[in-house]
Copies of this chain bind each other. A is one copy, B any other.
Amino acid sequence: MSLSKLPYKGTRDFYPEDKRVLNYIFSKFKKVTELYGYEEYDGPMLESEELYKSKTSDEIVNNQTYLVIDRSNRRLVIRPEITPTVSRMVAAKRYELQYPLRLYSIPNVWRYERQQSGRFREHWQLNVDLFGVDNNDAEFEIINIINSIFFEFGANKDQFQIRINSRKITEYIFNEVYQFNQDQISRLYRLIDQKNKITEDEFLSDLNDITNNSNIAQELLKIFDAKSLDQLDSAITKSEGFKELSDLTKKLNLDNLVFDPTIVRGFNYYTGIVFEVYDTDLENKRSILGGGRYDSLISAFGVESLPVVGFGLGDGTMSNFLKLHNLLPNLKPKTNTALATIDLELSEIQSIINQLRQENINLSVNSSNAKIQNKIKWAIKSGYDYLIIIGKNELVKKRYNFKGLLDKSEKELSIEQIISEIK
């Protein structure tokens, strides 16, 4: 029986045309984050299982991780995200590293998910983290990076929206304003996370169930429907979290930044401001990017805690956005020139090949015994722009047949002329 030609469900094969899209996206990610002074790091793809326990999202740990038991019975997990890894790495050099410390990475991460558009079991995720800044200059920079990334791809500010909130505000509402118990708070967090997926009536009915008080339910509905900070009433606006977020949004002064009290993020480690980016095109409903402040994760490694603000941005959600807004350029192969021989040994044309490559021309050679018509077809279907044809005559005359495959042109040129044509 033959082997299956399909990749594992939920994963992708990247043929050159697909890999070019991925590389294009990565190159923009790198360009922008490096402009902001970030340096690239990476860590191992397997980490001990305990690194993820209770430090990351319960949903991910309980339902989405890939467990690996090695040949010495160590329990490992394929990283579902890289935040625990970078926290471990910074903790290991807590007192050597210099702060502010700017780090980014584009790791492949794995989650066992139901298949949906733009959601894969393996995806690549840009992670940008700023360590050691305790005031909102950190959020200011991180939000600016996010805008710069989208602009770098050619998006405009009407095409995406940054929705922001602070966990401190949500916790203040639950703990200080209404003094809910732990069970109520857990249920409320789950409900808020569902808000955009259910009707307003369902949402209100669940609020009634949880609070057992229709007045409070109405008040909560009003709070979680708020579209801007000034729609919150004075019971909330006197909180520290409100002042921080209000300061930040004034400082940023961005048209595409909106307050959204339903943004709470599913990760246990967030401690302050949290945000997500959404496409303004309603066809594309899923969050493209998410992040926030997590100031105490590093202390789990037994070192002094450290303020951190960061975000993660997946290749799948990013390329969905780019495709929907027609922002993906036509990406050509890295090689644009082919060379085909007629009745020649490869060694007879080695000096010509070397001359072209010394000029940094990427060159793909076809020296097979196939007919020249088939070699021309090969060059066209492979996506090359130019084809140089060399037979015994051309070798003697030192002038070669140079075909432009896009404009169907044809010339007899010396090697120096060919080099200048290609360049």
Contact = CB atoms under 8 A, between A and B. Distances in A.
A34 B362 contact: yes
Given A43-B14, A92-B13, A8 B364 contact: no
Nearest to A136: B346
Residue of A132, A137, A301 contacting most chain B CB atoms (<10 Å): A137
Interface stretch (A218-226, A258-266, A331-339, A397-405): A331-339
Contacts of A19: 39-42
Interface in A7-32: 7-9, 11-16, 19-20, 22-23
A22 to B, nearest CB: 7
Interface residues of A, number: 92
B3 A301 contact: yes
Interface stretch (A96-104, A166-174, A320-328): A96-104
A141 to B, nearest CB: 7
Interface string A302-330: 11000000000000000000000000000
B42 A366 contact: no
Contacts of A140: 346-347
A187 B279 CA distance: 63
B43 A7 contact: yes
Interface in A111-152: 112, 122, 132-133, 135, 137, 140-141
A367 interface: yes
Given A13-B89, A99-B378, A40 B334 contact: yes
A382 B135 CA distance: 21
A190 B77 CA distance: 35
A40 B71 CA distance: 33
A42 B68 contact: no
A92 to B, nearest CB: 4
Contacts of A91: 5
B357 A35 contact: yes
Interface string A342-371: 000111000000000100111111111000
A5 B368 contact: no
A93 to B, nearest CB: 7
Contact of A46 (B51, B110, B365, B367): B110
A68 to B, nearest CB: 5
A8 B46 contact: yes
Contacts of A2: 300-302
Contacts of A357: 35-36
A363 to B, nearest CB: 6
A417 to B, nearest CB: 21
A233 interface: no
Residue of A2, A15, A71 contacting most chain B CB atoms (<10 Å): A15
Contacts of A360: 35
Contact of A7 (B44, B67, B102): B44
A338 B43 contact: no
Interface of A: 2-9, 11-16, 19-20, 22-23, 34-48, 50-51, 55, 63, 66-71, 74, 76, 78, 85, 88-89, 91-93, 98-100, 102-103, 108, 110, 112, 122, 132-133, 135, 137, 140-141, 251, 300-303, 333-335, 338, 345-347, 357, 360-368, 378, 381-382
User: Which 4 pairs from chain A and chain B are nearest by CB?
Assistant: A37-B364, A2-B302, A11-B44, A16-B39
Given A46-B110, A100-B366, A140-B346, 13 more contacts: A3-B301, A4-B88, A5-B303, A14-B42, A16-B103, A19-B40, A37-B338, A37-B364, A38-B335, A45-B108, A67-B69, A102-B335, A141-B346
5 contacts: A13-B43, A16-B40, A16-B103, A19-B40, A35-B363
